[in-house]
Every structure is written in structure tokens, then in C-alpha cells.
Structure 1
Amino acid sequence: MAKFRDSRLAVVEQTTVEGTVPTSSVHDRALGDILQQTKNLTAEQVDQILAFQRDKRLRFGEAAIALGFATDEDILFALSQQFHYHYAPAEQHQLSSELVVANRPFSRQAERFRAIRSQLMMRVFGGEPSKMALAVVSPDSGDGKTYFSANLAIALSQLGGRTLLVDADLRGPRQQGLFGIESMSGLSSVLSGRAEANVIQQIPALPSLYLLPAGVLPPNPLELVERPAFGLLVRELKSKFDHVIVDTPAAVHGSDASVIASRCGAALVVARKGKSQLRSLQDLVGTLADGAGHVAGVIMNEF
């Protein structure tokens, strides 16, 4: 494996390699085995389910529900494991309620994120030669950029490939709190040459999703993302993950977002219905279009 010339980035190579998902998992197991593990069913309870299943000619899950050993939600979660469709079960309380694709994967809101994901798979993540990271930008604070970035990353991870969410908002980061991750090390540590091991963390409930948190807030956020090290980092991350989503500071705080977007190669603009000003939105899209990045589109947030 090729090594980094910049020693500040070597920790990222180590972390992403260590975070590789094992090839053996629950996907090839029977529904009964998964349900037995997730519901802590005893051998006696499993025998009761099997006997009832044979007697009534039901599926294992239907028999478990009929006997009161499982709920519809339990069966749906077990099926999701078989079909490589990861989401957080109801008891996964460390995930914020804002993460609708993880917490309510079959809701109307989650379906909208999947529709956007389909468009982006064609426009941005369309193949290895044109592989790009996607910066999510917005004109102002409160537009829903962080909410959108997190849910889009979850939706991409549910395709089965390795997805990385980078919190590059070095002015007011929120991703770490949304996913319940505790870490003082992150992007700012990598870019300042002070990173420790394991700066990239796998989200336990979503095994194909990884998070690179912002880290300690630096006094010079714009200067950090303007350094060559950030461009080198993004390029390396794109080679190690199937999809890379980058959350950015709102444009009202400075030019961080446009700089980050140019390094990523593509940008998606998030505006908020009834809040975003048309002039600010036009200025942001114009700035992005003049840069090195590709403007993938504009999303109107109604949440």
C-alpha cells in the first residue's frame, strides 16, 4: 500500500485500514438465528416457535409474533440484516432523532433522501474515473445543512459500500453530537499535524458508515482547509471510501464552504423554505460555479 509523503496524514491511512468491515457477518444467517440473538430468545422459546410454526404452517417471524416473543418491528429489523439494509433499532438511543433515515427508515422523509441519493448516484458518484467527494453547503446557519449531510450519508451507507461523513464545519460542528460519538480528535487535529490514531470512527449501529469528526475548534479554520494538506486528505479519502460526504460551515461565516467544495470536486446547495434569501442563494451558487467544483444541484429543505 502506498504511504503518505505528508506524515500528518499517515494516521488516516492507519485508521481507515483498521476500520475495514469484516466480510463475515449476519447476512447469510437464517431469520430465526438473527431474531434469537437480537431478542435473547432461550432454546425453549425457539422450540416453541418452531413447533407453532409447523403446526400453523407459518413463517418463523409470524410464529414469533403470534406467540408474543417478537413484534413487527423486531421482524423488520431482522429482515434488514439479511438484506444488507442497516438502520438503528428503536433502543439505539445515542443517535439523534434528526437522523430520520436511521431511526425511521420507512418514513416519508427517509424516502425523499433515497430519491435524492438516486439522483446523486447518477450525477456525482457515477463511476471511478469521475469519483468525487460531495460538499454540502448552505447560505446561512439553520438551513438544515448538517441534518441533510448526516441523513444523506446514512442513505448512501445503506447501499452497502463504505461511506464516510466528514465534519469540516470547523466553526460550529454538530455531527459528533448527532451520532453520539465522543472524541476530541478529528479533522482539525489531522490538518494541524496533531492527530492521534482512530480519528475516523465507525458508527456502531450502521456498520458501513464512518465519521471523521471536526475535532477541537481551531482559531484559523479557513487557513486549515486552504492548506495543501486538506486537498491531499480528501484525495486519499476518496480512494478508500465508496462515498465521501463533507459537511461545511454556512457561507455567511466566510469562504470556507467554497474552498472545501473546490477540493471535493462537487457541491450540493441546501436552502430553507421561507428562510433563505434569493440573493444569498444566487451569490453562493455563482461562487461555487466559478470555482473548481461541480454544482450538483440545489435542495429546498422543508423540514
Structure 2
Amino acid sequence: MPICIPGELPAQDVLSEENIFVMESNRAVNQDIRPLQVGILNLMPNKIETEVQLLRLLSNTPLQISVDLIRIDTEAPKNTPKAHMDAFYHQFEDVVNKKYDGLIVTGAPLAMLDYEQVKYWDKMQVVMDWARRHVQSTLFLCWAAHAAVYHYFGLNRFLRESKLSGVYAHQVKQEHDELLRGFDPIFNAPHSRFGEVALDDYDSQPELDILASSEQAGAYIVASKDKRMVFVTGHPEYDSDTLAQEYYRDLKAGIKPELPDNYFLNDDPAQPPVMSWRSHGSLLFTNWLNYYVYQITPYNLSDIA
């Protein structure tokens, strides 16, 4: 089944070229189907690239999904045209009374700031409290995952001496959890972050389960026992060249980044990146939509509490 997005959203052309079934909102409203309502709070600077990445992963399911793009700031990011934001994004205040089957909160390039220094931290706290009452299951990615466990459980991150950048092997810790159904015991996933929350800190919270982790990258997938919160500390949505773009961006800025681990063929940046996480990234989103959202969410969204 398709994902339902605005007809002029740039992601539609990209996804159509990849033979992914997308449906314009006007056509979707004429079908006698109750689509899943999914919100995406996109905090990444390059909104359009992130939209394509997330919509691609949401599309690999038999469920019909209607997507709202949400923003909590009033200024257009430098890497996204203001016209795009005005045309396709809802201000949070415009959807505050709506309920969603699922919500995705992306990462953000805010690694070196304390949470209280983030200009929209107050609004983030409002959104996270709102999600507990208005969303069946929320998926937090990278920076948002750490921000959420800090807000909900008081678990603060520490900053690594060097940026964790690359593709790392992870081990399944809870093989019978539905979120990991179909996963290989060891699988790859990309990370790009400075922050980390210690495994012992997650273990100290009886409401949380560590579902997958890595010797090099620490906790990767953590979920609440009620399935209403999922914290993913990496970037399963990344394209094959996203880490390369970040690496060359930092080189150009004079930051002297380390080469991403286990990423370029033969660890040679002149060679192409090796894509080794797409299947598990897709499966993670499909399992989340099926087992953490669709199988649990009430038919009448007003019943979410």
C-alpha cells in the first residue's frame, strides 16, 4: 500500500523513480481505508534529503500511511527553501489537538550543546510530553533519542573524545522482541554522533529494554516495555553516501574529521562507500509500524491516552 503525501512534495519524484508507490492526499481521501496517521518532526537542516530517506523506509509495508511533516521553529533552515517549509510543514501548534498512530523525531546537529542551551528545548519538552498523550508509539533517532531519554528518565549523555562515525556491527539482545523480528543475530548500522548514554544507565531503568547494541557504538535500539517509545541512537535511514557527505563537509570546514569506520571500500575515501545496512534499516521501520503501531493502536485515534 502507498504512503500518502502532498502532490508537489519533492520526495514524490524521487520515490516514484525508485518504483515506490506514493499517493497524493486528494486521491487517498476517497478510499474507504483508515490509513495510519504518522507525524515526522524533522529537526535535520537538510529537510528534503531527510524526508526522502524516511519516506522510503515507511513505504516498505502493506499499510497505507498518511504523513504530516511537522516543525517547531519559525525560521527556515539555511539548507531548505522557505517556500518548501511554508508549503509542506505544519507548525506544531496547528496539529497539537491531533492524535497520531506514530511519530518520528529525527536527529539534529546539536551534539556540543547542553540540552538547555538548544534554542527550541522548551518546545521539545512540550512535544515530548504531548507525544505521551497523543501518539501510540514514537520513534526517536540519534540526538532526539538521547534528548528523549534525558527528558523522560533523567539519563544524561556524555561526549565521546572523538566523533563516532561509521558503520558498526550490532548484536541482537532481545531476539523475541517484535521490533527485531527477522533480524540477523549480527547486523550493521551507521552512526554519526558525539553523544552516548552508558549501557548501565539504560539498564538502571526498569521500564526500558536494550534490544540491540554494539561493542564500539554502545546501545543502538532501546524501547520502553509498553512499546510507546523507541530510541535509536544511529541513522538507519541514511543513504549510502550520507556519511561521505558529512566527512567531506567537515574536511572543507577544516575540522579534520577521522575517516568513517568500516565505510569506504578498503578504507580508501577515493573508493565508493559500502552500503551494508539498508535491509535492516527497512526491516526496523516495517516492524515498528506493524508491531509497535498498527497491531496496538486503536481504530479510533481519540482513544489514545
TM-score (norm 1): 0.30
TM-score (normalizing by structure 2): 0.30
Q: Which has the higher helix share?
A: 1
Q: Per residue, is there more strand in 1 or in 2?
A: 2
